[in-house]
Amino acid sequence: MAEKLIDVKDVALKNNCPECFSKDGLRLIFKQKIRETKFYKSITSEISHEMTCKTCNSIIYPEQWTDDIDLVFEYQKKAFTPKKASTYLKKPYWIVIATFVILVALILFLVFFLNLQLPFDSLR
């Protein structure tokens, strides 16, 4: 089972970067976890976030955040609407289901067919 995080929203912040003090490099990225198997792909409601600076190419961890960044983050977190959790069933899933249905139909047919045959056999 593969799990990956996809970027859902990318916000440019006007705060100073704690690393390089640039005013236009900070970006807050919201990510959402996607779970993928052979049979289905689903968007989970699990959210994570990451702050990076495009100017100095560093990841800004929450311990480095200033009070201003904290405030902006809280605001952005409230404004963020995650993608609705959903599951998409892939083709192999439907093939398995279809095969199962056909097998059951075949078994039912055989049972029915054999039941019809038996009386004639016993008459011989």
Q: What's the distance, CA 98 to chain centroid?
A: 25
Report the 10 Å Cβ neighbour count for 54: 13
Candidate segments 3-11, 24-32, 44-52, 75-83, binder of Zn ion by CB under 5 A: 24-32
Q: How far is the CB of 16 from Zn ion (least distance, A)?
A: 9
Residue of 13, 17, 51, 69 interacting with Zn ion (CB under 5 A): 17
Q: Are 75 and 11 in contact (CB under 8 A)?
A: no
Give strand pairing partners of 21: none
User: Between 55 and 76, whose beta carbon lies closer to Zn ion?
Assistant: 55
Look at residue 30 and give its three-state secondary structure. strand
Q: Are 6 and 30 in contact (CB under 8 A)?
A: no
Please, which of residues 48-67 interact with Zn ion by CB under 5 A? 53, 55-56
Binding status of residue 20 toward Zn ion by CB under 5 A? yes
Interface residues with Zn ion (CB under 5 A) are 17, 19-20, 25, 53, 55-56
